[in-house]
Amino acid sequence: MTAPADSDLPLDVIQRTPEATPAPSRLRFRPRYLLVLLIPVLMFSGAVMGMYFQPFGLKAFYAATGLQPGGGASAPIALPPEIILPPEMVETMQVTDVVGLARLMPRDDVSIVAPPYGAGDARMAEVLVAIGDRVQQGDIVARLDNQGQLESAVLLAEANVAVRQAALVQTRAAVQNSLDEARAGVDQAQSAAAEAQAQLTRETELFARGVTTQAALDNVTAAARQAALAVEKAQATLARFASAVVDQQPDVIVATRNLEAAEADLTRARRDLTRAAVLAPISGVVLDIHARAGERPPAQDGIMEIGDTDQMMAEVEIYQDRIGAVAVGQPVELAAGALGRTLQGKVQAIGLTVGRQGLVSEDTAANTDARVITVLVALDAASSAVAARFTNLEVVARIDTRAVAATGSKATP
């Protein structure tokens, strides 16, 4: 069967080769396209950093216009995000103010009353004060149950002193008698020697005249020599006494030192008796009591806490990048919801070391590893009277850095 002719087909067939087919086009990646994506990121980062750190130009703008960063928000952006300012403080907030968390405390902070040194395993016998009582330094605020044992030690030491006193009297008398006896022995020996020497002189004269014999002369000579040796012996016995004063004799000195040692033990026992009494280390008010009768005094918390609330202080933690604006004498305003009012004070001292933040807000996302410097603020009399009931209360402190700077007397930390 023959194929149909080309003229019989309804359409013309065009033959194409594969090499003539064009390849599809592809998009090529160019690095400059990244600039389009980075521009929004850089603009946003620059805006955030400018609002937070506030360069000099931005600070001048806010100072001139009276605006605050944050667009009217309740908390300005320039403040540390961990600190929530009370509304009454936000209304008077200035751009130059420095803000930090603080705690109220008595002057020289709270004094922890620990058990006396060497109290050992003693328990509380009685507590003589209550919370809120005012005490003076050295007052007895509590007693321990080791008082009976310590009193027994005092009685024993007193008895030992009495024994040593009697021993000293006895030794002094014995030494005096021995000294007197030695002196008498010397006198007796010297008297016998003188008599023997006189007898020898007579016998020698008689022997020269032929009245006595040689044997009699020899006997008298030997007796005189023995008498002389007896004097030397008596003098040697007397020489054993170093001095004619009884109290300077060795036996008396030893007895005196024994008495002094016993008296030292008595003094120590009486001082140990004070371990049964807990004394107030400072004058102030009893803030809290941690141990009651029958309990063992806590090792860390102590028996009680005492503070001088007549002058209240505030310990403010200032971020290290803001401490340069703080100076001694600047006015400080402190606020907390529990107070119902703001407290006033002045910067008294600025710390010399940078440490880790110790006061944190209730925000669970707060930064707890910030580096801060402690600033001590002394409250005025009216504020101290209010803050005396709120030791360790957390407050927000606002330091007005303009006051001292305006006088040109800004201090260095």
For 102-115, how does the pLDDT look when each residue is reduced to its tens digit (9 = 90+)? Answer: 999 999 889 999 88
48: domain range?
33-65
- Compare 359 and 400 and report the one with higher pLDDT: 400
Does the residue 364 lie in any domain? Answer: yes
The helix (H) or strand (E) run that includes residue 151 is helix 147-208
d(CA 45, CA 57): 18
**Rounded mean pLDDT, 72-96:** 59
Q: Parallel, antiparallel, or unpaired: how do β-strands 371-379 and 355-356 relate?
A: antiparallel
pLDDT tens figures, 359-394: 655 554 455 556 889 999 999 999 999 999 999 999
Does the residue 240 lie in any domain? Answer: yes
Say yes or no: 96 and 52 in one domain.
no
Q: What was the pLDDT predicted at 162? A: 94
pLDDT tens figures, 6-58: 445 455 555 555 554 555 555 555 666 666 667 777 777 777 666 656 666 66
Residue where one domain finishes, among candidates 273, 289, 317 = 273
Does the residue 316 lie in any domain? Answer: yes
Say yes or no: 95 and 42 in one domain.
no
Say yes or no: 257 and 323 in one domain.
no
Angle at which helices 147-208 and 214-239 cross, to 10°: 160
Task: Say if residues 262 and 160 touch (Cβ distance below 8 Å).
Answer: yes
Most confident listed range (27-36, 71-80, 261-270, 403-412): 261-270
Q: What was the pLDDT predicted at 409? A: 45
Does the residue 335 lie in any domain? Answer: yes
Does the residue 18 lie in any domain? Answer: no
CATH of the domain at 363: 2.40.30.170
Give the model's confidence band at 329: pLDDT under 50 very low, under 70 low, under 90 confident, else very high: very high
d(CA 360, CA 322): 17
Say yes or no: 192 and 102 in one domain.
no
Does the residue 252 lie in any domain? Answer: yes
Task: Say if residues 349 and 100 touch (Cβ distance below 8 Å).
Answer: no
Nearest to 361 by CA among 98, 101, 78, 104: 101
Say yes or no: 255 and 161 in one domain.
yes
**Rounded mean pLDDT, 204-218:** 80
Say yes or no: 346 and 242 in one domain.
no
**pTM to 2 decimal places:** 0.55
Give the model's confidence band at 341: pLDDT under 50 very low, under 70 low, under 90 confident, else very high: confident
Structure tokens at 287: 């803030």
How many CB atoms are located within 10 Å of the residue 37 CB? 8
Mean pLDDT of the chain: 78
Does the residue 389 lie in any domain? Answer: yes
- Compare 9 and 172 and report the one with higher pLDDT: 172
The helix (H) or strand (E) run that includes residue 62 is helix 56-65
Say yes or no: 310 and 268 in one domain.
no
Does the residue 233 lie in any domain? Answer: yes
- Compare 62 and 330 and report the one with higher pLDDT: 330
CA quadruple 97, 101, 103, 104: dihedral, nearest 10? 20
Residue where one domain finishes, among candidates 273, 294, 322 = 273
Q: What was the pLDDT predicted at 235? A: 73
The helix (H) or strand (E) run that includes residue 147 is helix 147-208
Q: What was the pLDDT predicted at 25? A: 52
Task: Say if residues 103 and 315 touch (Cβ distance below 8 Å).
Answer: yes
d(CA 36, CA 34): 5
Q: What was the pLDDT predicted at 345? A: 94
Percentage of residues in the chain having pLDDT higher than 90: 28
**Number of separate domains in the chain:** 3
Say yes or no: 167 and 225 in one domain.
yes
Say yes or no: 325 and 259 in one domain.
no
Q: What was the pLDDT predicted at 246? A: 72
Q: What was the pLDDT predicted at 39? A: 74
Residue where one domain finishes, among candidates 221, 253, 273 = 273
Q: Parallel, antiparallel, or unpaired: how do β-strands 134-135 and 331-335 relate?
A: unpaired
Task: Say if residues 98 and 401 touch (Cβ distance below 8 Å).
Answer: yes
Say yes or no: 95 and 175 in one domain.
no
pLDDT tens figures, 113-167: 988 887 777 888 899 999 999 999 999 999 998 888 888 999 999 999 999 999 9
Q: What was the pLDDT predicted at 194? A: 85
Say yes or no: 50 and 93 in one domain.
no
**Rounded mean pLDDT, 256-277:** 90
Q: What was the pLDDT predicted at 1? A: 46
Say yes or no: 95 and 204 in one domain.
no
d(CA 102, CA 379): 13
Q: What was the pLDDT predicted at 410? A: 46
Most confident listed range (8-12, 75-79, 189-193, 388-392): 388-392
